[in-house]
Amino acid sequence: MLGSQHKYRLIVGTDCTRPPLILLHGSGRDEQDMVPLAAELSPRSTAIAVRGAIPWEGGYAFFRRFADRSIDEESILRQAPILAAFMVDVGGQYCLRQRPILVGFF
């Protein structure tokens, strides 16, 4: 699934005993936004900063919102399994041995 709609930035950690971080930005942002936070939370952990696949307000989102910014719950139901499969694939590609810690915005 690495050919999926999600792009990401890998930050290789120096301590494989620490759980990896999966970084999910807020709506209208991109994968670069959470990178500084990863360095503060767990500087030696591997981190994967994921870009949402849905264009939104000059950036990206992980699910659609309506014009009034309310959440499109149907979009969450469609996008969540795609994002989950992507994370499993990335974890396998980089041999992440521990369950990741998810850090992000809703």
pLDDT digits (tens, 9 = 90+) for 26-69: 999 999 999 999 999 999 999 999 999 999 989 999 999 998 98
**Whole-model pTM?**
0.86
Q: Does residue 2 lie in a domain region?
A: no
Q: Does residue 94 lie in a domain region?
A: yes
The rounded distance, in Å, linking the Cα atoms of 13 and 47 is 7
Structural domain range at position 30: 8-104
The rounded distance, in Å, linking the Cα atoms of 5 and 39 is 26
Confidence class for position 77, pLDDT limits 50, 70, 90: very high
Q: Does residue 91 lie in a domain region?
A: yes
Determine how β-strand 8-11 pairs with β-strand 47-50. Answer: antiparallel
- Select the more confidently predicted residue: 57 or 4: 57
Q: Does residue 71 lie in a domain region?
A: yes
| Number of domains composing the chain | 1
Average pLDDT of every residue of the chain: 90
Please tell me the predicted confidence (pLDDT) of residue 10.
Answer: 94
Average pLDDT over residues 1-7: 65
